[in-house]
Chain A
Amino acid sequence: MALTSSARLPAAGASRVRRRPARRLAPYGFVAPFFVLFAAFGLFPLLYTAYVSLHRVELQTSDRMDWLGLQNYTRLFEDPFFWNALRNTFTIGVLSTVPQLLMALGLAHLLNYRLRGRTFLRVAMLMPYATSVAAATLVFAQLFGRDYGLINWALHGIGLDPVDWQADTWASQIGVSTIVTWRWTGYNALIYLAGMQAIPGELYESAAVDGASRWQQFRHVTIPGLRPTIVFTVVVSTIGATQLFGEPLLYEGNAGGGISHQYQTLGLYLYEQGWSFFHLGRAAAVAWVMFLLIVVLAGLNAALAARRNRTGG
């Protein structure tokens, strides 16, 4: 209550406000830390990156900036490797996000039942999320090793040919996606679980009375009830997939994203331009294109969700 009453104070009368300016300013003080930090570590880098992206800046001679206008951008759109990275970001994004969210939904549904050791299972689901990207990727890179990896060893055991999980396009993309899926499934499952627990039990009861099976309950009660949660996870996963970086970088330990750049994502392409080839201006241009891409994707998502809400009631 304290919050709402202080927020209404100014409306109550100008004289009271003038007497207590500290109280009027207090809310700004409370939100200031975030905005000060955001300005220093969010807004300033964003704008400075835009400035850099209009210049030729090389890491090796970073004190020199030559004005280029939009040349970094036009060059970017002419670069087949940029389009390759965009395509990879999309395919790896789909390969990781779709199974991840579907599995999370299924797991959350199971965890929503009364199970023995439910709390333990819920905590266990969060473990991959708590693991660092580097540690997880290094372990997976070993598992996916071509000559000495556990997965190829198992494939050999059941009489299949070994797969080159690094050089082959699809195999390597699946390899990278597996790491992402492994890390984020549990996290999304817990979010879904929270959403599910907010769905009133009576809905299930009346559905059961009407003779709906478990599957029908899931489809017609759980899914509609979870819609806002699903939209949220889709938006967050899409942003995550667009920025995917650590997993493909450490998968083979180089910024090229494989010998044919077959799993080089946009994030990795940016990094390669900036820190392998030392073209900071071009890297900044990539960063801005990525930023705009995410804004567009998020906007699209929101628009779709809003339309469905209106039509779906």
Chain B
Amino acid sequence: MAPFRARRTTVVLGSTALAASLLLTACGSGSGSGSTDSAGGKVTLTVDLFGTFGFKESGLYDEYMKTHPNITIKQTDTQDEGQYWQALQTKLAGGGGLADIQGLEVGRVASVLQKQADRFTDLRTLGLGGVNDELVAWKGAAVKTADGKVLGAGTDIGPEAICFRTDLFKAAGLPTDRTELAAKWSTWQGYLDLGKQYAAKAEAGNAWTDSAAGMFTAEVGQQKVRYSDEGGKPVYDSSPAVKTAWTDATALVADGLSAKLPQWTPEWNKAFTTGKFATLSCPAWMIGYIKGQAGDGGSGKWDIAPGPGRTGNWGGSYLTIPKTAKHPKEAAELVKWLTAKEQQTVLFTKQGSFPSSTGAQAAIKDVADPYFNNAPIGRIFSESAAAMPAQVLGTDDGVIGKAFTDALGEVERTNTAPDTAWKHALDNVKKASGS
């Protein structure tokens, strides 16, 4: 009988321990990773971002902490914006775990304005009502609610160009002169034609570009009306912007010019060093991404030229302060400093994130980047930004964009007929949307 009893005791103890641990985890999950005060008036500010904003990489945090000895900045970062957005929504719903400063992608702004304006601090209440005044007009207008609340401070915008590998171009007998290339691919058709020339001579396994999705997003980004019209009506299934970009991107696949890599995945990241593709649709912030992925070894191999259509707007971001921020005042000061003209200038010079501040735009006109063979990135992206449309933003832009890029993935990776994939894209939007 003794062993039986002993076993029962263990079971009871075990289940009590389990119960206790369940309760502990249940209670613990609420508090999350918010900021913490420490003694002596010191404040730890938490910043939660996606992709590569470049604040840390360009030394801006260090500089700020030097001039503000009582502030410590802690940054967390999710590479994929889709995952970041998902986590942000979960935290907003739960009301915990939010940082003092949260990044926000331009494609999500309309959704936040319409559905969650009450979860973010109106920056006017923190003395930052004019934080967007010196930016290009549409940038500030996009985060202003109908009743005048300012929900975010604009950081960068995403003027487009084409990044290309000079070593692979030379090997395939293509010119590497930026002006000559820009003339050859002044249209997307020209870009495809040059791609066919490249493919004829390039080694097997070296594709013209990374993915159909990259080209699609860049081309759609050149139009004012993309997924919804000015009245907020969804037009993704009929807008000329989407249709044309879809036709061109599927032509890219049909011509065998895509490396078929899904963007923002480890396979894609690795390809930056191995050189599986020769060109890449490059919003300005992609410069920082390339540097991060290709590392020092990639220096001098890449170059940048004005892309088809000479313009486009892909991405760009805002900094927001959630209502639950522990140190809204200090956070507001940091936001103001990070988005100011001087810092936006530094960010472009070091990281390539193109300023939304008109003052900074004037200051960076002559910047060249040694990593990209001294390409005059200031001039190239300034020209692209000058022609940039003020895009109409819809609440479901992020979801719709993903549905189309996923469908293009089907076309290039599973040999799905473009018409079938188009239907899949529309089905996916329907599945995701609220109707």
Interface residues of A (CB under 8 A from B): 1-2, 30, 33-34, 37, 41, 58-62, 79-81, 142, 145-148, 164, 166-169, 252-254, 256, 259-260, 275-279
Contacts and interface: CB of A to CB of B under 8 A. Distances in A.
6 contacts: A60-B93, A79-B431, A142-B266, A166-B262, A260-B410, A276-B86
Contacts of B83: 253-254
B431 A2 contact: no
A147 B210 CA distance: 13
B31 interface: no
A148 B434 CA distance: 39
Interface string B400-424: 0000001101100110100000001
What 9 A-B pairs come out closest when comparing CB atoms?
A167-B413, A259-B409, A60-B115, A277-B432, A259-B406, A62-B93, A59-B93, A167-B414, A259-B410
B267 interface: yes
Contact of B90 (A59, A166, A167): A59
Contacts of B89: 59-60, 275, 278
A147 B276 contact: yes
Contacts of A256: 406
Given A147-B270, A167-B413, 19 more contacts: A2-B5, A33-B15, A59-B90, A59-B93, A60-B116, A61-B116, A79-B431, A142-B266, A147-B267, A147-B276, A148-B267, A252-B265, A253-B265, A254-B82, A259-B406, A259-B409, A259-B410, A275-B89, A277-B399
B153 to A, nearest CB: 22
Nearest to B411: A259
Nearest to A169: B414
Nearest to B276: A147
B22 A37 contact: yes
Nearest to A256: B406
Contacts of B116: 60-61
B180 interface: no
A2 B115 CA distance: 62
Contacts of A148: 267, 270
Contacts of A276: 82, 86, 432
A60 B92 contact: yes
A30 B262 contact: no
B271 interface: yes
B435 to A, nearest CB: 10
Given A59-B90, A81-B431, A277-B432, A260 B19 contact: no
Nearest to A34: B15
B25 to A, nearest CB: 11
Contacts of A147: 261, 267, 270-271, 276
